[in-house]
Every structure is written in C-alpha cells, then in structure tokens.
Amino acid sequence: MTQDLDTLLTALYVKIDDELKGPRWTGRPPVLTDSELVCVAVAQSLLGFTSEAHWLRYARKHLTGLFPYLPQQSGYNKRLRAALGLI
C-alpha cells in the first residue's frame, strides 16, 4: 500500500505543480512550496483525516520520503488558510 500511495502522491504533486502558475510569495521562498502544500492537503482529504494533528503525525511518520519538511500544526493551518484560493 505504501508504494501505491507514494505513486499516487507523486503523480498528484506533478499535476498540481503543472497547474499552479509560478510562486505566490515575495521575498524568501517558504520551505514547503505551494504545490507541496496543496498536495499534502489533498492527500489529507483523500485519506480521510479530519484532524490536522492526526494527519501531520501520520504524514511525519509515513510520508517523510515525499515531504521532508512539514510545518507544525499552527503553521500548516495558517498556510492552508492563506492558500485557500489555490485549493
């Protein structure tokens, strides 16, 4: 299952990255790009996690190969709200 999930998330990331039009930020770029953030949020929804805390705990344990950096819960929530238009 892990290999299937990795393949799905890789394909999802490529599709999202192709659809997004360049960086939204000015200044120093964030460690987690907008494409990665949207991919992580879609994966959370696809896997049925309703709690951000549970999702981030799961992602840190199982998805570190795909997403080496994941923000803390408050940072994740803040970035998601700021990127609502992208999702």
Query: For 18-54, what is each residue's pLDDT tens digit?
Result: 888 766 667 787 788 888 999 999 999 999 999 999 9
Q: Is residue 28 part of a domain?
A: no
* 29: in domain: no
Mean pLDDT of 50-66: 93
Q: Nearest CA to 67 among 45, 35, 23?
A: 35
Provide the domain limits for residue 44.
2-19+35-84
How much is the pLDDT for 58?
Answer: 95
The proportion of the chain whose per-residue pLDDT surpasses 90, expressed as a percent, equals 55
The reported pLDDT for the residue numbered 82 is 86
In a domain, 73, yes or no: yes
Predicted pLDDT of residue 1: 52
Residues 6 or more apart whose Cβ sits within 8 Å of residue 47? 55, 58
pTM exceeding 0.95: no
